[in-house]
Structure 1
Amino acid sequence: MNDRPILFAPHAFTSPSAVADTLAPDVAAALLASAGDISLVLGSDGMIRDIAIANADLVAQGFSDWIGQNWIDTVTVESRTKVVQMLADSAGAEPARWRQINHPTHGGDVPVRWLVMRLAQGGAIAIGRDMRATATMQQRLLQTQQSLERDYIKLRQAEARYRLLFDLGTEPVLIIDAATRRIREINPAAADLIGVKPDAVNDQPVGTIVDAADRDAFIAHLGAAGASDDLSAISVRLASGREVAISARLFRQGRAALLLVRLLPAQVATEDAGHTTAMGDVIEHMPDAFVLVDSALTILFANGAFVELAGAASVARVVGAPLATWLGRPGIDLDLIVNQLREHGVVRNVATILRGTGGGHEEIEISGVVAPKDGDHCYGFTIRNVARRLRVVPTTERETPRSVEQLTELVGRMSLKDIVRESTDMIERLCIEAALAYTSDNRASAAEILGISRQSLYSKLHRHGLGNLVSGEN
């Protein structure tokens, strides 16, 4: 044997010939076959003399038919250079290294990671590992990263919109830390009303903005707002001498409890209290979009989440407009949803799309209910954005419809072209099952009466998930 060691591991065997002397031929063959998902015995000219496959799925992909072919003829065009280089490197003194090569099959390209080692008698051994599971995992990681990046961009955009609205708003507003009673943020309108510069009161005790005589009542109101959302506004005198009505509401940001404090003229707060209800506040601050429409599907009310999802400038831009302006494919989805509502009174988690005012669309789920209104009826819809959910990476296997009833259920969910493809798969599966039943599972006979080759039958059996592909052949 050649005394030149095959360099593979950082610390290889010091005496390869001694190892070889202790291995029987069948043991050595078994070790090579188990070292990877597929192992090849190559001649000096690159021809495949023998093959061992540990992964049954690779047999179904046609890898077992490679014997007698040149290895370079089993790879894609862009992988040919890698094969030539690996065979050349195996004859040199450089350590052998793994390289990924793609092999074309009827089900698409199959990535395999190969290691080539030269034999002393000439030729080489190639050990391969199926990389499809790794590729799928990499694809899922990429999708996760892209989803995180999209969420980060949306968060930055939301932060910019919040800052713009907070600074340009005409209503005086303060953000107060509920635990320390210190001012976190104050908008310019509130700073003008109090008579201070915004930076001068940041992180200062909130009691300093109120006259000393009303300070205790003001602090007590803030404490009550932390325990209840249904509090009436109270009138206090600011340190500047102006009398205002103060309304506070608790909200949370992360793990911090904060208070949103509004400073309003006393008479405005009194008028507004009669029109604001706890239910209205809940709907307005829902994380899911909510919209109420009349029997003609004209929008009567929409919360802030719907306005943001639709990309509208304000609530006034959507109230009075047809819901069809944004929801679903024109003339299809909304009509189907309304018909279901009229028949059953409720729909749940219907998948459709919502078109934004500035173009593009978002994938959504919509649930709805019918409600009576002054002798007529109206519809309430909750809309949930599902575009950011991580999609499941599609696999090569899928369950085809098994009956005409299942095919008809696809109408409205798939295009006619896709439904025809599904029906073709169903007919093909049924014919193969009938042929196998007729021949008592004799696949050679089944292929003959179907008028297809054995290999084509095996391919279709694998694609439809029929039979045991690793069992003995008839």
Structure 2
Amino acid sequence: MSRQEQTSQRLRAGRLPEIADVPGLVEQVADMAVLLSADGIVEGISTNPESPALGCLDHWVGRLFSDFLTDESRSKFTARLAMMRDAPETDPRPVEINHVDNANWEAPVRYSLHRVGESGVILLIGRDMQPFADVQQRLLSEQVARERDAQALRGAETLYRVVLEASETPLVLIEPEQGSIRDLNSAAAQLLGSKVDTLRGTSFAQVFEGRKRGEFAEALKSAATADGAGGLDVVARRNGRVLQIVPSYFRAAGELCLMARVVAMDESDGAGPEFTNALAMLYAETGDAIVLTDAKGLIRDANEAFLEMVDAPQLRTLKGESLADCLVRGAVDLKLMIEGSARRGRVRRYAAQVKSVVGTRSAVEISATRLRLGGTEIGYGFVFRDVALREAGEAAGDAVAVDDEAMKSVMDLVGTASLKELVSATSDVVEKLCIETAVRLTSNNRVAAAEMLGLSRQSLYVKLRKYGLLNSSD
């Protein structure tokens, strides 16, 4: 049975009326119909009046159908026609192609292909896909807008997290109705004796001793709405610290939120912002030079007085350099001060000499302190005090006594020894004084004293034994 006979049998099955106006039926069912010859020439075309976007396409008649297809659609339509000819007994699947007709008109159409007779004529029944394309375009635009809004929301969330964590003020965000911790920063978690992830989502009242959820929530609301900056005195359950909770309301996106500032009451009252500002002003304006270094002695910060002391034009000239570069005895002095600070916590009135970037030297006394934060060593602080004028005055007073004593000793030896022996005895006295001074300056650190004097450790021990200084140095 041929395909036409099968079609006629299907049309005749049941009770159907005779249909005479087939072209009119096609126009009503589809958006457009195109009749193609075996050579692909448009022999007839009809468009549905309900689809004004298609317009009048009568000028297609007599021309190749492929002339009104995009390059991609042309190859797709040709492949579908080849499949139709190779399998004449199989109904071809619909094909979606894009029409072009001058630079201002383009339309996507979905065609179903139908054979007409045995001469190779093909009837294309088309459905205008432009409304569906418009819907898809709106959906795509909506999706892009949603992704853009989601990205902006993620950026705002990241900014919020960074600012909250970077704040040195202990802050806790609380759900006003449930009384649970919505969020908090590390500074607040440290005061409460726990971690951020552990406290987030828990009841705020359970963090403190002797507090019930309902009563504590009401107390927070009362303190937040009260006039003045009053707070609630509490005791942290995990570490027993005495704290004060200072709550305040704010509104975000129409939602009422509660934020509480946690203040440590067991610390000195001067540890507030005013005291911090006062310390910063003291650091910047004091006449004594102050230097902050890391654990290895590399300069991290220095005040203006130190820059003037070493004739440095600006801080970045010294930042990252070793403090030993600013000392005459260099690594010896820095090592002794760091070791003394690490062992005893601080070093007082360490005598040294500072050299400037232009080579000048000045005598100073240095106080060094180990800096710790939360049990972790973060570096060292050094305070330099210029003692050049004081030493000059002391030297003027002591010079006469020293000269008189030295002269008397030399006069006592004259006549009892030769000039060569006198010079040798004087050299021994000077050498002994220098060794005693080096041992005293290094707090009996013989390795540092030998390095200071430019001697080997063995040579220093020989001279200590020679002058009977082993016991005294011990």
TM-score computed with the length of structure 2 as normaliser: 0.47
Rg larger in structure: 2
Higher RCO by CA contacts (8 Å cutoff, separation 6 or greater): 1
Q: Give the helix-richer structure, 1 or 2.
A: 2
